[in-house]
A and B are shown apart, each in its own frame.
Chain A
Amino acid sequence: AQRVTQPEKLLSVFKGAPVELKCNYSYSGSPELFWYVQYSRQRLQLLLRHISRESIKGFTADLNKGETSFHLKKPFAQEEDSAMYYCALRPFRGAQKLVFGQGTRLTINP
């Protein structure tokens, strides 16, 4: 079965400090990995996906197949980064369902 684990429910860092939100997954195949973000009073939205290898709002994430991880990183946190972050897995490219982790609430302190 597919599973996504985000070990930290809460993460608090100071503005300007580096941020790393951890995500580990279990799946034997070649999944697609995503990070979704939900800002206060807004809907869930895609932040980035591993196949795009892009940087969005200063965030990057690298898929490590050996460690089955997809950690989200940003070198210098900003107050507007405060939000709920969900790591998600799609079992394979043609699959439809997303499997989400429990989420990490990130708070950036001024």
Chain B
Amino acid sequence: DTGVSQDPRHKITKRGQNVTFRCDPISEHNRLYWYRQTLGQGPEFLTYFQNEAQLEKSRLLSDRFSAERPKGSFSTLEIQRTEQGDSAMYLCASSFPGTSGSYEQYFGPGTRLTVT
């Protein structure tokens, strides 16, 4: 499978613990995005990278959240001191300009986080 991959697929953690998720984009894609999806809602934008630069962050991304893309390839999303409200599906997507410059976003399968 040459699509976007995410690891782990499921994570159960206790409140107060730190968790880290990984996203591997499609290899030639220079842009990478993180979204969060809670039950019954559509995905909500968290942040995006162009190569290794983090260019936009949502207000949803509190101080407990940090994302990195150190070499412009894979990315990590860390949540410190998890809270029950952090329980959600965390989606990663990647894109490249394409022939039309459309930057179509290709999504990964997501990491489902449950905070107990």
A94 nearest CB across to chain B (Å) = 9
The stretch of A41-49, A57-65, A70-78 that contacts the partner chain: A41-49
Given A43-B3, A43-B109, check contact A97 B40 (CB 8 Å): no
Interface membership of B80, Cβ < 8 A: no
In the complex, the chain A residue whose C-beta lies closest to that of B43 is A100
Q: Quick one: which of B40-77 are within 8 Å of A by CB?
A: 40-45, 48, 55-56, 58
Pairwise interchain contact A96-B33, C-beta atoms closer than 8 A: yes
Pairwise interchain contact A46-B105, C-beta atoms closer than 8 A: yes
Interface membership of A19, Cβ < 8 A: no
Which range contains the number of A residues in contact with the other chain? 10 to 19
Which range contains the number of B residues in contact with the other chain? 20 to 34
B39 nearest CB across to chain A (Å) = 11
Give the residues in chain A near B4, CB-CB below 8 Å.
43
Pairwise interchain contact A97-B58, C-beta atoms closer than 8 A: yes
Give the residues in chain A near B55, CB-CB below 8 Å.
96
Q: Quick one: which of B1-46 are within 8 Å of A by CB?
A: 3-4, 31, 33, 35, 40-45
Pairwise interchain contact B42-A97, C-beta atoms closer than 8 A: no
Residues of B within 8 A of A (CB): 3-4, 31, 33, 35, 40-45, 48, 55-56, 58, 91, 102-110
Residues of A within 8 A of B (CB): 4, 9, 43-46, 49, 51, 86, 88, 96-103
20 CB-based A-B contacts, threshold 8 Å:
A4-B42, A43-B4, A43-B109, A43-B110, A44-B43, A45-B107, A46-B104, A46-B105, A51-B102, A86-B42, A96-B48, A97-B33, A97-B45, A97-B56, A98-B35, A98-B43, A98-B45, A102-B40, A102-B41, A102-B42
